[in-house]
Chain A
Amino acid sequence: MKGTDGGASRARILARVRRALADVPAHERPRDHPVARDYLRVHGRRSPAESAALLAAHLADYRARVHRCGADGLPRLLRDLLAERGARRVVVPAGPPEEWLAGAPVERVPDSPALTPYDLDAVDAVVTGCALAIAETGTLVLDGGPGQGRRRVTLVPDHHICVVRTADQIVDSVPQALERLDPLRPLTWVSGPSATSDIELDRVEGVHGPRLLDVVLVADAAG
């Protein structure tokens, strides 16, 4: 289907574009016009530990809470973070989070296409992994891969706990992140809890997305 009158508008718009570009030489190909990519791939040289520290600092700048632990300490830390807010029902996407929360005293709600927005509104928290994290901007990226669930599970519940493996999931920069991501997967980039600057351009945290974002940086986590 091409609009209300079939392809007529498509043809009209494309013809207008071509007429408008009469000054572009006929032999010029789409990639001919030069683009100098002399900007930086990374803003600074960092050791893995420094990148993790920068990620933590930038996440904290935008009011995410950042925690660190080893693989062994992860289940205990997650239990504590959930208990602190009295979370009883927790969404657990298939994959590593099932293992992390195996012994937690909460009702585990598996992610499934049958979960409605209303169902999700009635859970207290969600625990996920991520595809990668970007240190320079303090960003987590979810791509729906194992342990991340469908997009709605990290959106409707008011508390999101996201686990990042420091060994292999932290990149420094936005260009590095895009290189590693698959555009055909649905992607969600998260930089802090939801926020707005709409009242007198002052930033306020906590609007429609999760108002509490806990990020756990795990050294040598399994899975």
Chain B
Amino acid sequence: MTTVTVKLSRSNRIYRSSEAVEGKIVIKSPNSISHQAIRLSINGSVNLQVRGGSAGVIESFYGVIKPIQILKKTIEVRSSGRIPPGTTEIPFSVNLREPGESIAEKFYETFHGTNINIQYLLTADIPRGYLHKPLSATIEFIIESGRVDLPERPLPPEMVIFYITQDTQRHPLLPEIKTGGFRVTGKLATQCSLQDPLSGELTVEASSVPITSIDIHLLRVESIIVGERIVTETSLIQSTQIADGDVCRKMTLPIYVLLPRLLMCPSIFAGPFSVEFKVCITISFKSKLAKAQPKSDPTAPRLWMALERLPLELVRTKRDQFSC
């Protein structure tokens, strides 16, 4: 059984657009095989898809929208010949962008969302004529923005001060919460480097009804232009509890959320689509209703919950993670 695998030089598979993707093609074969050529193709694209959410029935029926090509490149790493039996390693190095080369789209960072997928694939193909099945292997690599056009760190700490009371809520609350009142204040960095944790702080200043939990939810907002409409889908990435139970009043709690990789990327505002992020702070109050309710979207407005949504702008900063 002959196998082909592609191994990248970096175990985390992260490359900048200005860099060359390096690695090796590893072919393991019990016997010698002949081939027409060994080719390597690199493919980067934005895949858009509409389903559920605010999309109408017809849009979701038609579902897939034509992907946006970012990069397509094929190089021949070896011309036709034979590969000896055993393990053969063929090293390669592909520049993603030749100096002076212009490409159709910007190198968006890799992102895996609900409706939007930005993906970079590297495929090795070994065609072997008509008689034999061609061999091939694909690996995804991850693109992070190059260094050149990035802002320096530290970012100016753009802290947003928020306060949440019974009066800031646009949805109905339980009467005891409404009349008893509560006040939660805090601040949050709404512009945030992807390498840094989301940080801020929060203080429960008053609450007559006991609190059961305070959570920080990371949300992504994916928008796609379909025809003349904009289809927007908001989905939950990660929830992080920062208060468990009825915490002490006037005690500052830290907000600290490490941003998950791949699931988040710098905010994008491209023509046909956009990827944005939001932070949703939820305060759950003690209520019998809460127990009866089955679990569902934790960021949906409820009678026993107070919410605050804040926009979150994610950027890639220059410094490499933990470079010293």
A and B bound?
Answer: no
Chain B residues proximal to chain A, CB less than 8 Å = none
Chain A residues proximal to chain B, CB less than 8 Å = none
